Amino acid sequence: MFSVASSALTFVGEGLSRPECIMATRSGDLFMPDKRGGIAVVRADGRTELIKAKNAPNGFMPNGFALMPDRSFLIADLGPEGGVWHMAPDGTMTPKLMEIDGKHLEPTNFVGIDAKGRVWVSVSTRMVPRELSMQKGHADGYIILIDEKGARIVADGLGFTNEAIVDPSGQWLYVNETIARRTSRFAIAEDGSLGKRETFAEYGAASFPDGFAFDEEGAIWTVTVVSNRVIRTTQDGKQELIFEDADADAVAAAEAAFQNGTYNRAHLDAGGKRPSGNLSGLAFAGPDLKTVYLGSLFAPHLASFRSPIAGAPPVHWTF
């Protein structure tokens, strides 16, 4: 395969605040959540804009989001109100999903759409504050499906549910379980129900998987917080380390804490002291889908590099 050195990275965008994940479009626009309360856009000509949310809930923290055909957004609120919100192109906010099974949603991690227009929502944990769940073996995250039948939980007992994305075939839902340190997948039945969880990939010391994307060969590119790694896993289970920006001492401390039960938010945030800013999202972009953009929890811009393998076009590629 190939590897990328930190010196080979280029950067776009300016003044971004927590660009946690990225939605790339054929037009060249790049969309990402912004801690200032809305969606930031790096336009194809390099300009950076902020679509500020109007009438947002208190403590609104946009996290994973879906880009819709009309360039409105479904946004997971990682703030105290939680839930999934719709944001119009002018920033007007309306609630999309605020409760499930009669209970208010906790801080919500990610929302995505598939080619059939179904909406998939991940909630990392039922514990509040969510940092209490960042312990080895803890698994109370879940996934919600919203379709013509309404909203329902379709998977439960996951180890800090993060990004959940339907693969290009439409047959599998893949999900990163950050604290379980694995990528799982579920076969999708015709009615949207999910089959038994299968382990697709497991990750090593201080590699806590967050965002991911598919390439044209069916492999998954995963970024990890703390260790700032980009790891490519092929369908036969082989892994390749594409990029790494890790501090050896911070990685060792985080791994020791994870194993002895003292892991906390400070260990997770340690990756933010590196130039890459604690990697949390990845997207293929460009006319040939061979430019890889990296989102992070702390960097004020997006890092990028060129790949010899193209990404698979995401559902929103033509939006």
Q: Which amino acid is at 162?
A: N
Assess whether pLDDT exceeds 80 at residue 119.
yes
Q: Are 311 and 167 in contact, with CB atoms under 8 Å apart?
A: no
CATH match for 6-306 among 1.10.287.950, 2.120.10.30, 2.40.50.100, 1.20.1050.10 = 2.120.10.30
The angle at the Cα of 62, spanning 59 to 68, to the nearest 5 degrees, equals 140
**CA separation for the pair 145, 35 (Å, rounded):** 26
Cis bond before residue 287 (omega within 30° of 0) = no
pTM listed for this prediction = 0.97
What is the pLDDT of the chain when averaged over all its residues?
Answer: 97
Its sign, for the CA torsion 33, 36, 37, 43, is negative
- For the beta carbon of residue 20, count every other beta carbon within 10 angstroms: 27
Nearest CA-CA partner of 84 in 30, 145, 22, 155: 145
The predicted model gives 247-269 an average pLDDT of: 95
The predicted model gives 143-168 an average pLDDT of: 98
Assess whether pLDDT exceeds 90 at residue 263.
yes
The predicted model gives 122-130 an average pLDDT of: 96
**CA separation for the pair 188, 186 (Å, rounded):** 6
- Reported as a single tens digit per residue, the pLDDT across 192-245 is 999 999 999 999 999 999 999 999 999 999 999 999 999 999 999 999 999 999
The angle at the Cα of 6, spanning 1 to 283, to the nearest 5 degrees, equals 65
- What confidence tier does 1 reach under pLDDT thresholds 50, 70, 90? confident
Give the containing element (helix H, strand E) for 250. helix 248-260
Sequence ranges of the domains in the chain: 6-306
With a pLDDT cut of 70, the percent of the chain lying above it is: 100
The predicted model gives 9-15 an average pLDDT of: 96
Phi, psi of 89 (to 5 degrees): -55, -25
Res 272: pLDDT: 96
**CA separation for the pair 170, 114 (Å, rounded):** 8
Res 74: pLDDT: 98
The predicted model gives 40-55 an average pLDDT of: 96
The predicted model gives 101-125 an average pLDDT of: 98
